[in-house]
């Protein structure tokens, strides 16, 4: 059978995955079409594509999730195929059907396979009939809250609530206490509805200390299905993968073969075509057992680790299969070389362990960018200097992937690459990932899906190192120093001189968001350039990247702002006092549970702020009365914006 590769492909996505797909299209000599919302008009994927077309305003519902606008863009640019990437409409059966109806090839599986595997309940029933082991859980669809609670009690606590319509950890809730079922079910439904437009839930038995291992499958339209080995995805936070690797250190040859065969059976059971992933949960105390969780009917975020150990370009084979080609290899031809590890770079605020800002979505403008280039390192990124990272889209910015002849080398290379990664202006988790990859359990390969949550306190700094304040003060001192060779006003020299008194060293009031203000007196030696600052304290030299108020080193970054203690003392409770509740991140208020005048208890849930498909509950800091309420459902808020003020009860105020 003779097939012809597409001439033009529209990439129905944004960010790093759009850039990655465009790279393969360019290598194949295929014209790429990028789409963009108003917020992405100058985005990297727009600039790297051969053609780009606007598809609507910034909200995803009016642009990247608009089937009508995407199809119109394909028609206007002469595209013959549409690659959906992942997220957005990648697992939307309606979009796949609409593409076919419009005469476009959807670069992915048939709509029927998407619909079947997208329904977690039907998917479990289908693969069970194909001989694939599944996790015990609820059957049927459209269960009410009461029916879910009854199923949970029958299965036995703890249980996992999961959206039926989607994946990626969105809307998942681990419930250990039956008394929490009602609140967690409501929260899971809200997040599922926001993420997938469907709040149908299922409930599964929770396996303690499980490992998350998935199998990459590849199928053509001629009945050939193979697997490309496994990926270990056990390092997760909030059910969201943050580090993935291939191969898994847990599996022996027999288990690897059994899981691969099960994945192939699952793919055949739904008539799969293209690249897909079958996800399994493996009990930590019984590696020979494995249970089907779900099938992701798309390219996975972590596909690069499989590419690096197999030498295959999965995007290329998605395109070739969509164009009608047969797979050129059989299962016996699949080989792997070395080890690969991927770390996901998220826009997150996490520089302070205490307080409300730990691991919350962040945003900002990329003021300075450095992505690592060294042996064995690949970076998939959608960033460039000037990129505006907002709360409108997913917080994942880039992926840093390392390959080496063995696991120890890959881990070492990835830690070094993360230390070189700089995204000044946007807080990220690079430093956290670097420390995680050095954790003894990770180095030993003793992983489970709860490891990150258990070890978080040891992986997040206790506070801001003193050398950060020293570097920030050095930058300010340098800005005050006179420039040029002419006359210098002696009163402008920051030397601490005072009329009629002993010299007093210059002091700066500084504040890192999420921490208390600090009065810092510089005491070391400094070297300041346009993009670096070095300080020497107690004989130790510390060098930082710098841009604006931002400083970074070895993956960590701090925004160090000037603080005016006089202005702060004049503000009332409504501007940041002990009773004020402020937005911990830029986002949208989705739930308001109180009104002005309501009595509240300490720890009571009052509001919910959503950003980048993540919910954050705002609770009362103490018992009291709602004195001010500045927001309503749907209000867009900035970081640190006051949401409400809780006036304490008399006894609380005295305390």
CATH code: domain of residue 56: 3.40.50.20
Q: In 134-158, which positions are buried (b, 16+ CB within 10 angstroms) versus exposed (e)?
A: bbebbeeeebeeeebbebbeebeee
Do 260 and 344 lie in a common domain?
yes
Over residues 226-250, mean pLDDT: 95
The enclosing domain of 167 has a CATH number of 3.30.1490.20
Do 50 and 80 lie in a common domain?
yes
Q: Is residue 555 part of a domain?
A: yes
Do 190 and 261 lie in a common domain?
no
Last residue of a domain, one of 397, 429, 459: 459
pLDDT for res 351: 47
Q: Is residue 113 part of a domain?
A: no
Do 195 and 260 lie in a common domain?
no
Q: Which domain holds residue 91?
A: 8-107
Q: Is residue 494 part of a domain?
A: no
Cα 28 to Cα 7: distance, rounded to the nearest angstrom: 10
Structure tokens at 349: 């605020």
Do 189 and 215 lie in a common domain?
no
Last residue of a domain, one of 173, 189, 205: 205
Q: Which of 257, 249, 156 is nearest to 207 (CA)?
A: 156
Query: How many domains, the chain?
Result: 5
- Taking residue 499's Cβ as centre, other Cβ atoms within 10 Å add up to 5
pLDDT for res 353: 43
Over residues 579-588, mean pLDDT: 81
Do 353 and 395 lie in a common domain?
yes
Q: Is residue 526 part of a domain?
A: yes
* Partners of 225 in the β-ladder: 219
Do 215 and 200 lie in a common domain?
no
pLDDT for res 574: 39
pLDDT for res 573: 41
Do 185 and 313 lie in a common domain?
no
Over residues 576-587, mean pLDDT: 73
pLDDT for res 502: 61
Do 87 and 148 lie in a common domain?
no
**pLDDT over 50 (residue 356):** no
**pLDDT over 80 (residue 60):** yes
Q: Is residue 117 part of a domain?
A: no
Over residues 266-281, mean pLDDT: 97
Q: Is residue 128 part of a domain?
A: no
Q: Which of 547, 551, 532, 561 is nearest to 465 (CA)?
A: 551
The enclosing domain of 608 has a CATH number of 2.40.50.100
Encode pLDDT of 132-189 as tens digits. 999 877 766 678 999 899 989 888 889 999 888 776 677 889 999 999 999 999 999 9
Cα 293 to Cα 310: distance, rounded to the nearest angstrom: 25
- Indicate the range of 179-183, 193-197, 277-281, 509-513 predicted with least confidence: 193-197
The enclosing domain of 289 has a CATH number of 3.30.470.20
Do 477 and 521 lie in a common domain?
yes
pLDDT for res 489: 64
Q: Is residue 167 part of a domain?
A: yes
Do 449 and 535 lie in a common domain?
no
pLDDT above 90 covers a percentage of the chain that reads: 70
Sign of CA dihedral 33, 38, 39, 43: positive
**pLDDT over 70 (residue 354):** no
Over residues 519-529, mean pLDDT: 95
Cα 52 to Cα 55: distance, rounded to the nearest angstrom: 10
Over residues 611-616, mean pLDDT: 72
Q: Is residue 493 part of a domain?
A: no
Q: Which of 419, 376, 366, 132 is nearest to 260 (CA)?
A: 132
SS3 of residue 295 by DSSP: strand
Do 326 and 274 lie in a common domain?
yes
Last residue of a domain, one of 517, 534, 565: 565
Encode pLDDT of 69-86 as tens digits. 999 999 999 999 999 999
- Indicate the range of 205-219, 297-311, 485-499, 608-622 predicted with least confidence: 485-499
């Amino acid at each position: 059978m003779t097939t012809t590769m597409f001439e033009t492909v529209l990439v129905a996505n944004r960010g790093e995955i759009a850039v990655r797909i465009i790279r393969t299209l360019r290598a194949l000599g295929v014209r790429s079409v990028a789409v963009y919302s108003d917020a992405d008009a100058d985005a990297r994927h727009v600039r790297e594509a051969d053609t780009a077309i606007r598809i609507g305003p910034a909200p995803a519902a009016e642009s990247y999730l608009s089937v009508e606008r995407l199809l119109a863009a394909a028609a206007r640019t002469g595209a013959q195929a549409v690659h959906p990437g992942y997220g957005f409409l990648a697992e939307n059966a309606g979009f796949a059907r609409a593409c076919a109806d419009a005469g476009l090839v959807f670069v992915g599986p048939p709509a029927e396979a998407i619909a079947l595997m997208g329904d977690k309940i039907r998917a479990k029933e289908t693969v069970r009939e194909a001989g694939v082991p599944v996790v015990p859980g609820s059957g049927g669809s459209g269960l009410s809250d009461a029916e879910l609670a009854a199923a949970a009690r029958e299965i036995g606590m703890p249980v996992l609530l999961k959206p039926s319509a989607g994946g990626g950890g969105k809307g998942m809730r681990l419930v250990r206490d039956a008394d929490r079922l009602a609140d967690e079910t409501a929260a899971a439904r809200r997040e599922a509805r926001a993420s997938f437009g469907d709040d149908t839930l299922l409930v599964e038995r929770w396996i303690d200390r499980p490992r998350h291992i998935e199998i990459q499958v590849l199928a053509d339209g001629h009945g050939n299905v193979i697997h490309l080995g496994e990926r270990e995805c056990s390092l997760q936070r909030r059910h969201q993968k943050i580090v993935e690797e291939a191969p898994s250190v847990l599996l022996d040859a027999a288990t690897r073969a059994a899981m691969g065969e099960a994945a192939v059976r699952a793919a055949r059971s739904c008539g799969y075509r293209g690249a897909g992933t079958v996800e399994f949960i493996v009990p930590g105390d019984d590696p020979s057992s494995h249970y089907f969780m779900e099938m992701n009917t798309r390219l996975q975020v972590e596909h690069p680790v499989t590419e690096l150990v197999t030498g295959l370009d999965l995007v290329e084979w998605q395109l070739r299969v969509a164009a009608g080609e047969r797979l050129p290899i059989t299962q016996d031809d699949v080989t792997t070389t070395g080890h690969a590890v991927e770390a996901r770079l998220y826009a997150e605020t996490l520089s302070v362990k205490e307080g409300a800002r730990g691991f919350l979505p962040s945003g900002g403008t990329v003021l300075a960018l450095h992505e690592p280039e060294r042996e064995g390192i690949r970076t998939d990124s959608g960033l460039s200097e000037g990129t505006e990272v907002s709360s409108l889209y997913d917080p994942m910015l880039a992926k840093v992937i390392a390959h080496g002849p063995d696991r120890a080398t890959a881990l070492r290379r990835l830690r070094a690459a993360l230390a070189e990664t700089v995204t000044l202006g946007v807080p990220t988790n690079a430093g956290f990932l670097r420390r995680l990859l050095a954790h003894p359990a990770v180095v030993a390969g003793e992983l489970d899906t709860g490891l990150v949550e258990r070890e978080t306190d040891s992986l997040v700094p206790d506070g801001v190192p003193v050398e950060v304040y020293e570097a920030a003060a050095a930058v300010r001192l340098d800005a005050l120093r006179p420039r040029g060779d002419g006359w210098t006003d002696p009163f402008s020299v920051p030397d601490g001189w005072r009329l009629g008194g002993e010299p007093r060293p210059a002091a700066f009031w500084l504040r890192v968001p999420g921490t208390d203000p600090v009065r810092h007196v510089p005491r070391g030696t400094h070297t300041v350039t346009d993009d670096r600052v070095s300080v020497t304290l107690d004989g130790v030299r510390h060098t930082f990247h710098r841009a604006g108020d931002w400083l970074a080193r070895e993956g960590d970054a701090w925004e160090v702002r000037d603080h005016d203690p006089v202005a702060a003392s004049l503000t009332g409770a409504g501007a940041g006092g002990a009773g004020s509740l402020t937005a911990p991140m830029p986002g949208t208020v989705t739930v308001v549970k109180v009104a002005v005048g309501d009595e509240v208890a300490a720890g009571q849930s009052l509001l919910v702020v959503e950003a980048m498909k993540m919910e954050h509950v705002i609770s009362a800091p103490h018992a009291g009365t709602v004195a001010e309420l500045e927001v309503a459902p749907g209000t867009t808020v900035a970081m640190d914006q006051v949401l409400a003020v809780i006036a304490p009860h008399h006894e609380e105020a005295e305390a």
